[in-house]
Structure 1
Amino acid sequence: MTKSRSHAAAWPIEPSALFAAALMIFSILALPAFSQTYSFNSVTIEGNDRIEDGTILSYAGIARGQAVSAAQLNDATQQVRGSGLFETVELVPQGSNLLIRVSEYPTINIINFEGNARLNDDVLRSVVASQERRVYSPATAERDVAAISQAYADAGRVSAIVRPSLIRREGDRVDLVFEVFEGGLAEVERISFVGNRDFGDRRLRGVLETKQAGALRLLIQRDTFSPDRLDFDKQVLTDFYNSRGYPDFVVNDVDVQLTRERDAYLITYNVQEGRRFRIGGVGLSSQIPEANAEEFRRALRLRTGSVYSPVGIENDIARIENLAIRKGLSFVRVEPQITRNDREGTLDVNYVLVPGERIFVERIDIEGNTTTLDRVIRTQFRTVEGDPFNPRMIRQSAERIRALGYFADASVNAREGSTPDQVVIDVDVEEQPTGSLSFGANYNSDNGVSLVASFRERNFLGRGQQLDFQISTGESNRNFSFDFAEPFFLGRDLRFGIDLNYRTTDNQNALYDTERVRVSPSLSFPVSENGRLQVYYAFNWTDITDVAGDRTDPPEDRASLVIFEEADRGAVGTQSLGFGYSWDSRRNGIDPTTGYVLRFGQEYGIGDNEFVRTTALAAAETKVWSEELTLRATVEGGALHYNTGSSRVTDRYFLGSSLMRGFEPGGIGPRDADTDDALGGNYFAVARLEAEFPLGLPEEYGITGGLFLDHGSVWDVGDEHGATVLYNEFDTRTVAGVSVFWTTPIGPLRFNFSEPLDIRERDEPNNFDVTISTSF
């Protein structure tokens, strides 16, 4: 207690008064530092060589005689430094004079890249912003490092390291060098799926644009990871499921991970398939008095029990709108109303015709086409200026423009026009190369090896015309072909084409040579949703030359007497008119798992040689077992009948490997009993059955297996000219075999291993052949 009182007595001033006094003393001492101001009557600038004094003063923002604080002086320093023109900046007050001392960034002399092999200098130079003969900027160089790294990441090299360095040169110049360590290629090592029940991983991987790395990694560029390609893959995966009756399908998440070594990606799709639906009831109602619902209902093609597909509904809407246009009804909008029946797994579709907004197309603006003419793009629109605006038709036009293949990118958008009831359609395209010049070699089992030179242009002179020129020469034949096509002749959906073909064969495979010329102009046009008709004129010139031996020679030293008789006619020219009709269910895109094709054509000879040539084909393909197994069936036949004159070996049918596998060219059918020459036939018929299935190999190899069974015949030489002809009657053969399909970057190859089951003594089997795999 005493001690406390003594302490209190010794403290003469209250604590609060002491604190106030200390604060006053501190304020007095600190006031000069906080309140100091400057005013400059002159400015001296040192260190600048290329940058004008006025430019530096404008960045500083200090006027003559202006009172500035120390904080404002610091801000001015930061403003000059922020211009990016100087390495160092100092603002030093010297009385009434302000000294601004700077050191400028050097000028870039040249920009070089070192260590880059996968991406050449031109590619890297296109992504950097730094420029030669411009002031070097560290910030810009850092952005260039990021851009180069991203370019390598897009090429699958995420571990690439980029470092900028400067090499000092005289005259305040530097060389900017980007040192690149490319690292290894980060491939897509595995693509897997979680949540898929009805379709296996193999089938879904086949849908995606991105592929797993495999044996062909040096040729396939789609096995590197690309975020843009990932977005595309998500969309095509959704479209795949939607078109097969899964309207609720969603991609919940895509997990992308780098392996620990950072040399490969692991991609996992987390999907939710939902339930598969079929179409229940299909109806149509109209809220427009002028539109007869029953009449429009007859235009529908969607049927109860079919698998749900958005494409089928879109096609029905297009039919309804086209019918409304033909009936003079504008601004008809079709609203599909879909009712779910989860218990039955069906979707009821009712199309409702309602009045649409009265909006017109004011104009169509096209930009970006430097080579392609505007009219080529406009032909893809079914809408012209002044027509009612139909968003669905504009979307379809955009799809047709992209499908041309002329453009790397094409966007079609609508915006409001000069008035609220008008729209302007903006078309922005980015052109890409459409021509190709190639030199190479072909091989097939029928004709052996041949050298090929070809030129192809899909957008000739920017007119949308197609030009194809090809020359090939091989051991047994030489071929020249020229094809030209105008797909929109007279501004309509009318394709005009002209084909010119010249072909010769030598006697390595036969005891005679042939020479053929064919010139054929044609017109083709659609006659229904899935049907197309072609009409044509043809001039054919054929000659049989260099027939081996003489008629009096022994059979082993001469050609068939049939060939002699036909060669005696000399060169023969024929003229003909013909048509060809094709119906393809795949054109409407409704059923992606099943397709049907029908083809029928006839050619009528006119003039001195009157004949009728008839050809027909029916084919079907379907995918079963979660689309892992593909089944195909084809029936094909032909008949040649002469009313005046007779056929020659240059006109008749031969069954090569494209028609019937398992035999040499001319290996079956009519032949001379003495010389064994194949003579061909006026009739042929073939049935082909085959199945294609996975072999259990990684699908990135592109290798699948198959089984096939062919059954057919070629017969009837016609006039026998006194020679003895074998197998001149309808006499069928059967061959079975296995196939290996290999999808390679140079084209789809097919290897057939066959064994005849039904064969004749003089037939010539071929147990192995290689062909280009083609769809029916």
Structure 2
Amino acid sequence: MSPLYRTSSRFMFRWLSLLLLTISFNLHAFATTIDVIETQGLRSMSYQAFLDRIQTQPGSNLNAETLSRDIRTLYQLEYFEDIKVYESQSPEGYTLTFEFTERPRVNSFSVEGNKRIRDEQIEGVHTISRNDIYSPELVARAKESIRQLYDTRGMQDVLITEEVTFREKSRTYDIVLHVDEGQRARIDNFIFDGGSYKRSEYYKYMENRERRWYSWITGRGNFSRVKAEYDTQRLHQFYLDRGYIDVHVSEPEYLLQESGNYIIRYEIEEGERYRIGSMNFRGYGEIATEEQIRNAMLLEEGGYFSSSDLHDSIVRITRLFADRGYANANVRPMDSVDREEHTVDFVFQVIPGEHFTIGMVDITGNNKTRDKVIRRQMRLLEGDEYSSSAVDESRRRLNNLRYFDELTIQERKTGEPGEMDIVVDVKEAPTGMFTLGIGYSTVDKVVGTTSLSQGNLMGRGQTLNFSLEKSSERMYYSLSFTEPFLFDRDINFTTSLYDQIREYSYYDDHRRGFSITLGRPLFDDVRGNIRYKYEEIDIKGVSDNASQTVKDMAGSSRTISITPSITRNTLDNRWVPTKGTRTNLYFEYAGGKLGGHNDFYKYGATHSIYHPLVAKLIGAVNVEARFVEGHSGQSEVPSYERLYMGGINSMRGYRFRDIGPKDPEDGGDSVGGYKSFLTNFELLYPLTADGNLRLVTFYDVGNVYDRGEDYLDSVLRSYGYGIRWLTPIGPLRLEYGRKVDREPGESRSRLDFTIGTMF
């Protein structure tokens, strides 16, 4: 049986065959009906998918032009080397048979010989997968991507060879890349010929660095041609950001040393430095004032020109208009360069575009979470004027819920003039967790934990949590419930029950009670809360060797308190913050007309700042001041209600509750103070893209003072480093602190470790 249509993968043969096919079918019967369509050799798609891609169908009339278009469509898929079409008569009727010769595919792909780079790192750069259509170009691209990966690690001599085996029966290829890693080269030095700036200034823009003694750990100083070529562009940007608009930076020159390492040389022609002459603005109409636009500018008349500041200024002006409903605002800078006076004049043409209001907020992907839980976090709703900042704030608030693995907020035009929809698309994350585990802390030693929590109860956004912790020195259980929007109003309600027994050196402290908290927003990012707490305290098991202070507080007592507080929170991430601030002011009043046995008041303030520094480094500062005093005739506050410090959550390098006034009769243990001060300085470096694993270095300053001591009269200091990891069962912290102000006989340092427990 000879084919009605046959083609090879060559272009000319293919289209010549289509022409012959057309002539052949024109000589065929005028209205032949196709009864059956069959396929042979079709593996890349199902029979139905094949029929969906062609117009020729069973029951239709045979048409040469239609069949020719179908063949072209199939070739455009790039799945096939050859296609033949046969006609035949069978008991079922007139039959067309498509015979396919598919392009070979990849059966397997592997890399061998890689020792310095892990398999998963190589898998992250190449693009070959099983069942990909094979081509020499596909293999070449994979080799080049792997070579560039080795280049970034300083291995310029890497040799990658391919071993390709063709399986005739399955028409597939097995591909093996053999890697000979060669020797690692490093950068000994840089030369910046013609550059007038310090090397440290250039390094703020460059990716390459010269080697150091610790390069074998960090990889600093690995020679990379790719990075060196990119650094040419970065150095050019460095000068543009300082006003050198005529700068020229040469391509890198690589000077090979006898050691096998390199010196990289850049030749720089700086040129003259330019200032901003005048800045004028057009097209803003009555939407904004010129003063508001100038305040958004990072460039100043008379100041040096900066390319980055120009870009950021345009973004800020655009955002100014986008926050007033002009979602498609555009700003076009027109410059005039005076090379004699070395100035640049700018005219910024503002094109506001159309003003938009919100038509509909469309929420998709939430199978469990109710729409209202998402909508109440939105800063934009139906009928509101569009605002770019409101979109960003909505995204931040929704992310902080931690209900979703993926979240996107997009604008969608409705077709109506001046109207757009906001589309919130989510992919829900598991919010329930049951945990059985064993943790450890230097305070409570080995800790057994059981917890059951649901962070999005029945999709309502409510939180229910039960936890039980047991260690050799502490037993604690709690049950809490939170409704973030009480009666569908922005009022948070939390109630909790708890019971805790903690063993100290000379006594046991047993506490149980409950608390109720109500809160509501006062201003943007500011919430006010008020908490009622009822607590029963039982000091028992007092040792005969305990001090008189400890013996005096033995027995049962009751504390009833009310604590109003104000919190301002602008952190970008509740769990792993990288920027923003959190401030808390509180005042706790206990006893008096509230009842109970303990009459005191506590007040204090905490302020934390997170700010991105260079590269991925994050700076953090926490400042805390606390005070406690008795009232209603109770001058002495019970020791268990006083202030303490020490441990992984305050002054690292010191034992838990080790800092404070000491009682000589109690073996020198702290009996608590009446005022305290603490400052923590931290540098955080994320090791993962999500920031859940971070290195930390710290410097702590603080102390606890008695009544007769002057506040801040003396401070204790410590420093150290550690690692933090947000795990599924809770936060892990391993931090080593070393004392600066060590008393005689005190330990010099302390290693604290916690995992899977809450403090």
Q: TM-score, normalised by structure 2?
A: 0.56
The alignment status of 1:412 with 2:409, answered yes or no, reads yes
Match of 1:386 among 361, 383, 387: 383
Q: Secondary structure at the match of 1:375?
A: helix
The alignment status of 1:741 with 2:741, answered yes or no, reads no
The alignment status of 1:566 with 2:553, answered yes or no, reads yes
Q: How does 1:11-410 map onto structure 2 within 5 Å?
A: 140=133, 215=217, 359-402=356-399, 404-410=401-407
- 1:219-250 superposed Cα distances (whole Å, 9 cap, x missing partner): xxxx9x9x9xx9xx99xx9xx99xx999x9x9
Q: Secondary structure at the match of 1:381?
A: coil
Q: Assess, with a 3 A threshold, how the Cα gap between structure 1 residues 768 and 310 changes in structure 2: closer, same or farther.
A: farther
Q: Assess, with a 3 A threshold, how the Cα gap between structure 1 residues 525 and 177 changes in structure 2: closer, same or farther.
A: farther
Q: Which residue of 2 aligns with 1:656?
A: 646
Contact 1:742 1:749 in 2 (8 A): yes
- Deviation of the 1:625 alpha carbon: 11
Q: Which residue of 1 aligns with 2:441?
A: 443
Match of 1:544 among 536, 539, 546: 539
Contact 1:156 1:185 in 2 (8 A): no
2-side partners of 1:270 and 1:399: how far apart?
45
- Deviation of the 1:183 alpha carbon: 6.5
Q: Which residue of 2 aligns with 1:640?
A: 629
Q: How does 1:655-674 map onto structure 2 within 5 Å?
A: 655-657=645-647, 658-660=649-651, 663-667=654-658, 669-674=660-665
- Deviation of the 1:578 alpha carbon: 0.9
Q: Assess, with a 3 A threshold, how the Cα gap between structure 1 residues 511 and 612 changes in structure 2: closer, same or farther.
A: same
- 1:406-449 superposed Cα distances (whole Å, 9 cap, x missing partner): 444433333332532432222233344556657453334x4455
- Deviation of the 1:683 alpha carbon: 0.6
Contact 2:736 2:751 in 1 (8 A): yes
1-side partners of 2:62 and 2:606: how far apart?
94
Q: Secondary structure at the match of 2:382?
A: coil
Contact 1:537 1:577 in 2 (8 A): yes
Match of 1:534 among 521, 529, 532: 529
Match of 2:746 among 759, 765, 771: 765
Q: Assess, with a 3 A threshold, how the Cα gap between structure 1 residues 80 and 604 changes in structure 2: closer, same or farther.
A: closer
Contact 1:145 1:163 in 2 (8 A): no
Amino acid at match of 2:421: V
Contact 1:756 1:765 in 2 (8 A): no
Amino acid at match of 1:564: K
Q: TM-score, normalised by structure 1?
A: 0.55
The alignment status of 1:476 with 2:456, answered yes or no, reads no
Contact 1:167 1:175 in 2 (8 A): yes
Q: Which residue of 2 aligns with 1:27?
A: none
Identity %: 18
Amino acid at match of 2:547: S
Contact 1:47 1:103 in 2 (8 A): yes
- 1:262-315 superposed Cα distances (whole Å, 9 cap, x missing partner): xxxxx999999999999x99x9x99769x9999x99x99x9x999999999999
1-side partners of 2:398 and 2:251: how far apart?
31
1-side partners of 2:363 and 2:389: how far apart?
19
The alignment status of 1:713 with 2:729, answered yes or no, reads no
Q: Assess, with a 3 A threshold, how the Cα gap between structure 1 residues 361 and 577 changes in structure 2: closer, same or farther.
A: same
1-side partners of 2:284 and 2:72: how far apart?
74
1-side partners of 2:495 and 2:334: how far apart?
51
- Deviation of the 1:636 alpha carbon: 1.7
- Deviation of the 1:80 alpha carbon: 10
Match of 1:601 among 586, 589, 610: 586
Query: What stretches of structure 2 of length at least 5 have no aligned partner?
Result: 1-19, 89-93, 113-117, 152-159, 208-213, 255-263, 686-692, 727-731, 755-759
Match of 1:685 among 676, 687, 698: 676
2-side partners of 1:276 and 1:470: how far apart?
64
Q: Which residue of 2 aligns with 1:616?
A: 605
- 1:380-399 superposed Cα distances (whole Å, 9 cap, x missing partner): 32222233444553354345
- 1:672-722 superposed Cα distances (whole Å, 9 cap, x missing partner): 44443646235122354868799xxxxxx98776655x4533336xxxxxx
Contact 2:333 2:349 in 1 (8 A): no
- 1:18-45 superposed Cα distances (whole Å, 9 cap, x missing partner): xxxxxxxxxxxxxxx9xx9896799999
Amino acid at match of 2:518: L
Q: Which has the higher contact order (CA 8 A, sep 6+)?
A: 1
Contact 1:59 1:79 in 2 (8 A): no
Contact 2:38 2:97 in 1 (8 A): yes
- Deviation of the 1:536 alpha carbon: 1.2
Contact 1:740 1:750 in 2 (8 A): yes
- 1:724-775 superposed Cα distances (whole Å, 9 cap, x missing partner): xxxx877988465552324465766542221436x6xxx97342123579xx
1-side partners of 2:466 and 2:550: how far apart?
32
Contact 1:611 1:644 in 2 (8 A): no
Contact 1:439 1:454 in 2 (8 A): no
Contact 1:520 1:537 in 2 (8 A): yes
Contact 1:112 1:175 in 2 (8 A): no
2-side partners of 1:270 and 1:582: how far apart?
54
Query: What stretches of structure 1 of length at least 5 have no aligned partner?
Result: 1-32, 131-138, 169-173, 207-211, 218-222, 258-266, 325-329, 550-557, 695-700, 717-727
- 1:521-574 superposed Cα distances (whole Å, 9 cap, x missing partner): 32334434464322111122221122224xxxxxxxx3233333322xx43333
Amino acid at match of 2:748: N
2-side partners of 1:407 and 1:641: how far apart?
47
The alignment status of 1:581 with 2:581, answered yes or no, reads no
2-side partners of 1:375 and 1:113: how far apart?
49
Contact 2:450 2:469 in 1 (8 A): yes
- Deviation of the 1:494 alpha carbon: 3.9
- 1:444-498 superposed Cα distances (whole Å, 9 cap, x missing partner): 4x44554555566654544444555554444432333555544444445544334
Q: Secondary structure at the match of 1:713?
A: strand
Q: Assess, with a 3 A threshold, how the Cα gap between structure 1 residues 391 and 559 changes in structure 2: closer, same or farther.
A: closer
- 1:612-638 superposed Cα distances (whole Å, 9 cap, x missing partner): 222334677999999999795845222
Amino acid at match of 1:641: G
The alignment status of 1:424 with 2:415, answered yes or no, reads no
- Deviation of the 1:639 alpha carbon: 0.7
Q: Which residue of 2 aligns with 1:520?
A: 515
- Deviation of the 1:175 alpha carbon: 11
Contact 2:501 2:508 in 1 (8 A): yes
Q: Secondary structure at the match of 2:639?
A: coil
- 1:96-137 superposed Cα distances (whole Å, 9 cap, x missing partner): xx999997779x9x98898999579x99xx99685xxxxxxx
2-side partners of 1:83 and 1:649: how far apart?
80
When the two structures are aligned, how many residues end up with a matched partner? 627
Amino acid at match of 2:675: F
Q: Highest Rg: 1 or 2?
A: 1
2-side partners of 1:65 and 1:337: how far apart?
59
Amino acid at match of 2:537: T
Amino acid at match of 1:607: G
